[in-house]
Amino acid sequence: MMRASSILSKNSALAVRHAKMGDQISGLVVPIFEGFSYSGNLLESIDKFTNGAFKSQLEATGHTGKANHVSILYGLDKTLPRVAVVGLGKPFPEAACGTTEAQKSCDSLRKASALAARSLRDSGADHVVFGSVRGSADFQPLAEGAALGLYKFDHYKSQKPEDADKKKEVEAIGLLYEGSLNQECASSFERGTIYARYQNMARDLMNIPANDMTPTIFGQEAQRLLTADGLKVTVRDRKWIEEQKMGSFLSVTNGTDQPPAFVEVEYKTAERPEGPVVLVGKGVTFDSGGISIKPSSGMGMMKGDMGGASVVLSTIAGLAQLGVKTHVVGLIPLCENMPSGRATKPGDVVVARSGTTIEVDNTDAEGRLILCDALDYAKTFKPSMIMNFATLTGAMDVALGFGCTGVFCKNDDLWQRIDKHGRATQDLLWRMPILDDYREAVKASVADLINSTATRSAGSCTAAAFLEAFVDEDMPWAHFDIAGVMHSGKTAGYHVAGMTGRPVRPLIDMIAAMEKK
């Protein structure tokens, strides 16, 4: 049986290795726009280096620069066995412009980069290097696209295809330079690699089957993976959870033989006088629905119901890798939701850490039951803001699908930050409402609150209203319902079929930007 640690180690091994023109390069990516020329640019340099072979072969392909069209040129030089020319379409603004058009255009770079990198991998390249587009800022989305697009999760396959011995995995990516390496370009590229690496880490955590990613194993992996300076990982056991009187959280754990855990991650490399940023992630490592059991079709996807936990852990790991000077706390309640003779039953009433009583109408609405106790515990850190992440409701998938994450946030300043960095990374986020009608809907007749309403209407909104009851009125708070973006059904651009790890990149981007002086 494949252990989680070996999977997580393998997928984090993609190195950054830049190359100079004339070095042995396994695969080179050359991005081009429509209407490209061979004068005074990278194309001219490559053509001179290959004594005209580059221009001759490229013209023979009929490549016009059409977006996402890839042509692979072979044997241009002994140091350039493969060159992937990828189209970007019509010229667009540089990433550094920061406009909406430029942000969308950066996504074109990510998509093109992913397509070209996969094409080179499939042709046998193990080191993929990128030629320049224009400004240094363009190298970050190029690196993100490559590292995200090259992601694979095939660790449990005992047999490879017959031609597996002819194929190589890409071990390193980098940028091509002439003369001396431009440090601004290199920094941009390496930043993009870090953003992608930690989204890939979240993908791995979510993709690993539940038998290899129990609450106990998740806690062990958190301690193993997060070892950078400023990081402290504490794994709490059931006894501690009981001492905290987290009765709502504990009610979800009743039906399983797997012990729960509560992972607390603190990253502190600077004081934040206003208080730490607290991130809370739902960590249901497998969700059968409990007594309110789910249909068998698609239940296997519920190995990814700890997506919020994965996002929190990976975001903090990414911030540490970047060396961001900040103070962030991650709170991750972990458990399974299973049916048994001990399981919580519909109609049971439980008492949350805050003292609030909750009628459990539906045991498959368990995410809010574990989050509410974690949100109440978050107050002990005197935070400046709280953001929680959860694959919480199927209703969010119906509402927004794969296109963007639904975010419930009453605080305009916090929402503007969230929205800005979602657009900057093109992992889009959409503001959702919490209205008084939704607050009324989660009031119970036999307890203070009820965890599920009698109607399917506005399911995501009533879930958010439930969580809101455990957050102080004046606290900047945002609830990210990531159920719709949890999984990609197909590989397209830099989205690879399987669990997505979203929205790690906008979170890293946002928190890092908050600390810039």
Residues classed as catalytic? 294, 368
Find how far residue 499's CA is from the centre of its chain: 9
Which DSSP string do the residues of 73-108 spell out, in sequence order? EEEEETTEEEEEEEE--S----GGG--HHHHHHHHH
Are 201 and 221 in contact, with CB atoms under 8 Å apart? no
User: What six digits make up the tokens of 251?
Assistant: 């009610």
- What are the distances in angstroms from CA 113 to CA 25, 70, 116, 166, 493? 17, 10, 5, 23, 8
Distance CA 285, CA 3 (A): 15
Q: Phi/psi at 481 (nearest 5 deg)?
A: -95, 105
Nearest to 367, CA basis, from 247, 248, 201: 248
At 349 the three-state DSSP class reads strand
**Cα-based angle 297, 249, 353 (whole degrees, multiple of 5):** 155
CB 396 within 8 A of CB 485: no
Phi, psi of 85 (to 5 degrees): -95, 120
Distance, in Å, from the CA atom of 73 to the CA atom of 53, rounded to the nearest integer, reads: 10
